[in-house]
Structures are given as structure tokens and as C-alpha cells.
Amino acid sequence: MNAATLLTLAAGAIEVVMGTLALAFARAQGWRHFRIFALIAFSAAAYCLLDAAFASISPSDTLVLWAGRANPALACLHCGAWIVYTRRQYGDPLRRLDRWAIGGLSAIALLALVPGLFVTPPVLTQTVGWASVTYHLPTVTSLGSAAVLLIPASLLLPALTYVRKAREGAAGARVHVVAFLFLLVVGLNEALVSAGVLDNLYLMDLGFLAAVLSVCVEMTYRVTADARRLQELSDDLARQVDERTRELIQARDNLARAERLAALGRLSASIGHEINNPLSYVIGNLNYISEELNDEQSERQEALIASAVEDALGGAERIRRIVSELRAFGSSSERDARRPLEVHRLLEEALKLARGETRHRVRLERRYENVRKVMADPTRLTQVCVNLIVNAAQSIPEERAGGPDAVVTVRTRPLPGERLAIEISDTGAGIREDARERLFEPFFTTKQRNGGTGLGLFVSLGIVTSLGGTIEIDSVVGKGTTVRVILPAWLGAELEQDEAPSTSVRTLANRRLLVVDDDVLVARTLARQLSGHHVEVVSSGQAALERLSTDMTSFDLVLCDLMMPDMTGMDVYEAVEERCPALAERFVFISGGGVTERSRKFLEAHADRVLPKPIDNRQLCELLVRCKPLSAAAATAE
């Protein structure tokens, strides 16, 4: 086997591989025109295989004549396929000249297969001396010689298409132009060698291979472009997923807020009752004190006044606690402030909030076992418990409400695998099987019209799931329901609690304090609570800034209201922080809760320096213990 035969077979093998790949790519959307290219590659491979017969050492005359008739037909098929491919490649329709060329090539192919028309015996040998290659060729007729010139000439049509596309900047078009120039050159070489004018090898196989390989470059461009497009689509999909995820999270949080508001609406009547009760004896006791102080006091009256003051303080503390619980429960903060929680304490807080629904309707039973703490956001987990307790109370039929068999049981127990269960059981009507399957769907409710939003269990499940837990429901119609919240136990170490200071505000060393509050009564009350210290009071943020601008070094502590009309406490703090950072460190903010987005973020950022309203002596004492007088701080620094 000589070098020419090896070169021909190698070219044919490469073309077979390219044709197979083209068929595989043609299955993809947008690559269908590669089926035509597969025809181009396979026809070129067949042409090479037959050319190998001409260059073999001792082929039979029959094989040579048969190959001499088949090769022009394959060349016509190859060139016609190129004309169609270049049009399909760029989405252009076939033109009239293209159809004429394809028709002419089809006619030449049919004529080439007729024995004796293009080639005839005898078989001649043609030796290329410089390459030591001998070809065995049939005798070519004059019509066959003309066909040898016409067939390669048809490739001018796809070549001109690629030239035009290269000028337009089409990807890969320039590579096609170079490949077709080479193909036309070797076609001319084929004609000259066949005519005996040029002593050279037949190189048409290499020309076909060059054209086929140019499509390989095009495939590379397309794969790269598709990969780039796929990456862009992937990035766009990831962006859309992120956006949808944020929207879902926002929707979930909105549902949670809606459920909290709905729950607050249901509890508002009983909450008003809970607040009015202690408020009545706070006002009554204070009125009594005011009247008694106008008369001469006996020892017995002094004791009664002291008792009235103590009762008034107890009632005020109860109001403060109720408001604090409501503020926590109705908080719209999206921050998930998780911390280790005592389960039994949390349940008691939830029972207080749900008291309006349970007090005159059911008898509560508590069956607490020793369980570990859980890591959770107290606001959200309290919301879950309140919702389940209210649902349990409302499941008791009206005719049985307040009866001896109307019972809601709150139970806790440890579970295997470092988990624990919170169970809320009732002796109500139970839940039907068909309704049980839909309990966690949003807006589905088993309560009577206007009795519920249908969001409680849906939101509760989302909260519990986010904590790594789950909710199970067991129910028997006519006997009652048990809702079981299963949560992972917190396995962290217990932190030591700081003991409350045992001293009083007045017994602490004298501090120099500035109180800033636009509410004169609040400022006056706070100054009264701080009696024994040097206290200055200003009633606006602007006045505070003017006072501090004249003396920024002598105040041990600045107690500043957060929300004021002319200049907020946040504005005062930022101005002081810019001028005197050391004094800004001694600011404490008095707040009843953030009412704007800015104030909420500010309070979260300075949570360790917030004094919540109403202010009691214990909070003030803790604050003053932490705050050393400037003289003591200077001595410590020395």
C-alpha cells in the first residue's frame, strides 16, 4: 500500500467520523441542516474509498472501470449537497441558478453511470515518478473530460455564498472561503493531471476533506455559541429562581404578618379587658393617694397609702407586661432572632395571649415533662402556639363551651433522637378525614363563616419547618384533636444568667445625666425616678444638641427619646457621633418601639443601648450600674 492510498483512506475515515457526528448533532433543534452535511461527508468518504482502488497495486480492470463510472456520480452528489447546505445553513431559499446547477449535476451523475459514456477500456497506468505512485485509470472520453471540468466548477456557487457571508461578518464563513479556494485549486489539479498536462498526485480527496473540516470549525463555533447561550440562559434562570425565591419568602412573611394581625384582631377584645382591669386599679389607687395626701395622715393611713402605691405599681407592671407581649407577638420584623428558649415559659406566655379565648370557654390542663430548650425565634414560635391554643379552644361546640368536658391540654415530652414534642389536645368536635388532608392549605378553614383566615396552620407549618421540625395531627370525629409540634432540642451549653442588681437607683454614686424627651410628663417622671443624681432635662432634639455643643465632656449618660418632632434621637446621635465619638458611646435610647423603617433598623443596630418604655426602677438601676461616672472611668484609665 503506497502513500497515496494511505492518504486517501485516512481522508475517508475522517469524513466518515464527521458524517456520524453531523447525524448526531442534527437531532438537536437548530441543527437540522447538518443532515445535509452528513450526506456531504459520506459522499466524500465513498469517493475516497473508490479513489483508493485507482492507487492500489494490482486492481482488476472491472473494479477500475466501475470506480471510474461511480466517482463522477459521487462527485456530483457531493457538489449538489454543498449547494443545498450553504443555503440551508443561513436560512436562504434555493435560487434559480442553484436549481439549474443541481439539475445539471443530477444529469451528469446519471450519464456517468452509463458504461462507455465517460470511461472505456483499456485500463491505463499513470506513474508519478517523484512520488513513486502508479495509478490504474480507465480511458476517459471527451465527454468525461468535460465533466471533470464542470463538476468542480459547480462549487463556485457555495464558494461565492461564503465570500458574501464573510463580508457580512458571519461566524466561520472565512474558514469556508479558504477551504473552498483550496478545493477549487485541487479540482483544477485533478483536471490537469487527468489531461496529462501536470505530473502530480490526484488530490481531490484532500480538497473534499478540507471542505468537510471547515464545517468542523463551524460546528466548533456553533457549539461554543450554544454553550455561551446556555450559560446565559442558566444565569438568567438562576436569577429568576432567586427572584421567585425572594418573592416566595416575602409572600410567606406577608402571610405570617397577616395571620398575626388576624390573631391580634381576634384577641383584641380580651386584651382590652386584660389591660382595663389593672388600669382601673392603677387609676383608682392613684386617685386615692392624691386625696389622702391632702389630709393629715395617721399611721394607719400611711400604711393604706403604701399599700395603694404597691397595688398601683403591680397593676402598672401588669399593663407593661401585656403591652410587651403584644409588641413581640405583633412584631413585623423580618429578622429571625433565634435564641435558646425555655419551652414551658414560652407556652405560658402563649397561654396568656390566648387567655381571652380560653378563659370562659375551656378548662386548661398542663402536663409538662422535663424537656430541653429549643433554638427558635420567640415571636414566631409563640405565634404558632397561640394559633394552636386558640384553634383548640374554638373547636369546642358552643353548647359545650365552659362545661366540665370542655378541656384543652397542653403537654410537653421528650422524644428519641434529641427531639421534643409540644402537644395541644382538645375535646372538641374533631376533624373529618376529607378536611384533614387540606388543613395545611392556605385559606382553607374548618371554622364557620368569618371564623378564621385559613392561614394559621399554613403559616405555622412554614415556621416549624424552618426550625427543622414538623407538625402532626391526630383527630377522631366527636372526640377531639391533638396537634403535635415536633422540634429538635437545643444541645448547646447553658449560659449563666447575670443576677439582677440588688442596689437601688438612689444609693448609686451621683451621676450627671441629660434626659431628652419631647413628652414633658415622661421626662419629668424619669427625672423623678433618677432623684439623687444631677439630672438636666431638655424637651427637644435641637435643644439637646445645643446643650451638648457647649459641654460634651461632663455628662455620664444621655437618655434620649428616639422619636421627636423637630429632630429625632437618631439625628442627635449621628451629629454627636461625628463631633465627639466618646460622648456618643454614652447615649441610651428611650423607645416604645420603632414606627418607621429607619427607626426599626436603628434599634436593631443598637439593641444593647435601648431602654424600652415604660421604664421601671430595675431597668434604670441596671443601666446606671453599667455606666461608670466619668471621674471613675478616668481614674481607671490612669
Given pLDDT bands bounded at 50, 70 and 90, which one contains residue 532?
A: confident
pLDDT score of 291 more than 70: no
Do the Cβ atoms of 175 and 217 come closer than 8 Å? Answer: yes
Alpha-carbon torsion, ordered 348, 351, 353, 354, to 10 deg: 170
Q: How far apart, in whole angstroms, are the C-alpha atoms of residue 304 and residue 295?
A: 13
pLDDT, tens digit, for every residue of 161-194?
A: 999 999 998 878 889 999 989 988 887 887 788 7
Do 403 and 466 share a structural domain?
Answer: yes
Given pLDDT bands bounded at 50, 70 and 90, which one contains residue 601?
A: confident
- Burial label for 567, CB within 10 Å (0-12, 13-18, 19+), is middle
Do 137 and 78 share a structural domain?
Answer: yes
The answer to which of 104-108, 405-409, 595-599, 634-638 has the lowest mean pLDDT is 634-638
**Number of domains making up the chain:** 3
pLDDT at 261: 59
pLDDT at 38: 93
What mean pLDDT do residues 402-430 have? 92
pLDDT score of 126 more than 50: yes
Given pLDDT bands bounded at 50, 70 and 90, which one contains residue 226?
A: confident
Do 149 and 73 share a structural domain?
Answer: yes
Is 183 contained in some domain?
A: yes
Q: How far apart, in whole angstroms, are the C-alpha atoms of residue 454 and residue 148?
A: 85
Given pLDDT bands bounded at 50, 70 and 90, which one contains residue 530?
A: confident
pLDDT, tens digit, for every residue of 64-85?
A: 999 999 999 999 999 999 999 9
pLDDT, tens digit, for every residue of 559-597?
A: 999 888 889 999 999 999 998 888 888 899 988 766 677
Residue 23 parent element (H or E): helix 3-25
Do 19 and 134 share a structural domain?
Answer: yes
Do 571 and 440 share a structural domain?
Answer: no
Given pLDDT bands bounded at 50, 70 and 90, which one contains residue 334?
A: very low
Do the Cβ atoms of 583 and 558 come closer than 8 Å? Answer: yes
Do the Cβ atoms of 452 and 510 come closer than 8 Å? Answer: no
Given pLDDT bands bounded at 50, 70 and 90, which one contains residue 634?
A: very low
Do 194 and 107 share a structural domain?
Answer: yes
pLDDT score of 618 more than 60: yes
Grid cell listed for 518 = 419631647
pLDDT at 378: 86
Residues of the chain with pLDDT > 90, as a percent, come to: 29
pLDDT at 575: 92
Q: How many angstroms separate the most distant Cα atoms in the chain?
A: 152
Is 581 contained in some domain?
A: yes
Q: Is the dihedral of CA 543, 530, 577, 570 positive or negative?
A: negative
Mark which of 231, 255, 275 sits at the end of a domain. 231
pLDDT at 322: 61
Mean pLDDT of the chain: 82
Indicate the pairing of strand 407-415 with strand 419-426: antiparallel
Max mean pLDDT range (324-328, 387-391, 440-444): 387-391
pLDDT at 252: 75
Do 198 and 77 share a structural domain?
Answer: yes
Q: How far apart, in whole angstroms, are the C-alpha atoms of residue 344 and residue 42?
A: 81
Mark which of 212, 231, 250 sits at the end of a domain. 231
Do the Cβ atoms of 490 and 373 come closer than 8 Å? Answer: yes
Q: CB neighbours of 317 closer than 8 A, spacing ≥ 6?
A: 616
Q: What range does the domain containing 115 cover?
A: 3-231
On the CB side of 298, how many CA atoms lie within 13 Å of its CA? 2
- Answering whether pTM is above 0.85, one says no
Is 288 contained in some domain?
A: no
Do 520 and 446 share a structural domain?
Answer: no
For 158, 238, 261, 276, the CA distances from 266, given in Å and listed in that order, are 80, 41, 9, 17
Given pLDDT bands bounded at 50, 70 and 90, which one contains residue 495?
A: very low
pLDDT at 335: 45
Grid cell listed for 56 = 492500489
Q: What is the DSSP letter of 498?
A: P
Residues of the chain with pLDDT > 70, as a percent, come to: 82
pLDDT score of 282 more than 70: no
For 508, 600, 620, 624, the CA distances from 627, given in Å and listed in that order, are 11, 25, 11, 5
Higher per-residue pLDDT: 27 or 221: 27
Do the Cβ atoms of 531 and 553 come closer than 8 Å? Answer: no
**Across-strand partners of 412?**
368, 422
Higher per-residue pLDDT: 277 or 146: 146
Q: CB neighbours of 629 closer than 8 A, spacing ≥ 6?
A: 509, 510, 511, 512, 556
Q: How far apart, in whole angstroms, are the C-alpha atoms of residue 452 and residue 458?
A: 12
Given pLDDT bands bounded at 50, 70 and 90, which one contains residue 480?
A: very high
Q: How far apart, in whole angstroms, are the C-alpha atoms of residue 215 and residue 14?
A: 13
Can you give the CATH number for the domain in which 399 is found?
Answer: 3.30.565.10
pLDDT score of 488 more than 80: yes
Given pLDDT bands bounded at 50, 70 and 90, which one contains residue 200?
A: confident
The answer to which of 14-28, 236-250, 437-451, 594-608 has the lowest mean pLDDT is 437-451
pLDDT at 500: 45
What mean pLDDT do residues 231-258 have? 84
pLDDT score of 305 more than 80: no
Is 308 contained in some domain?
A: no
Q: How far apart, in whole angstroms, are the C-alpha atoms of residue 592 and residue 257?
A: 20
Do 448 and 517 share a structural domain?
Answer: no
Is 312 contained in some domain?
A: no
| Side chain identity at residue 85, one-letter code | Y
Q: How far apart, in whole angstroms, are the C-alpha atoms of residue 177 and residue 162?
A: 6
For 249, 318, 356, the CA distances from 614, given in Å and listed in that order, are 34, 11, 24
Can you give the CATH number for the domain in which 68 is found?
Answer: 1.20.1070.10
Mark which of 231, 257, 281 sits at the end of a domain. 231
Is 101 contained in some domain?
A: yes
Do 599 and 566 share a structural domain?
Answer: yes
What mean pLDDT do residues 264-293 have? 57
Indicate the pairing of strand 374-376 with strand 339-341: antiparallel
Grid cell listed for 130 = 517523484
Is 45 contained in some domain?
A: yes
Is 226 contained in some domain?
A: yes
Do the Cβ atoms of 351 and 318 come closer than 8 Å? Answer: no
Do 176 and 118 share a structural domain?
Answer: yes
pLDDT at 498: 45
- Which residue blocks in 154-203 are alpha helix, DSSP H? 156-167, 173-194
Q: CB count, 10 Å around CB of 91?
A: 7
pLDDT at 638: 42
Can you give the CATH number for the domain in which 617 is found?
Answer: 3.40.50.2300
- Which residue blocks in 416-481 are alpha helix, DSSP H? 433-436, 456-466
* Residue matched to cell numbers 447575670: 498
pLDDT at 635: 40
Max mean pLDDT range (89-93, 281-285, 327-331): 89-93
What mean pLDDT do residues 330-339 have? 57
Q: DSSP of 343-404, one letter per residue?
A: HHHHHHHHHHHTHHHHTTT-EEEEEE-----EEE-HHHHHHHHHHHHHHHHHTS-GGGTTST
Do 539 and 447 share a structural domain?
Answer: no
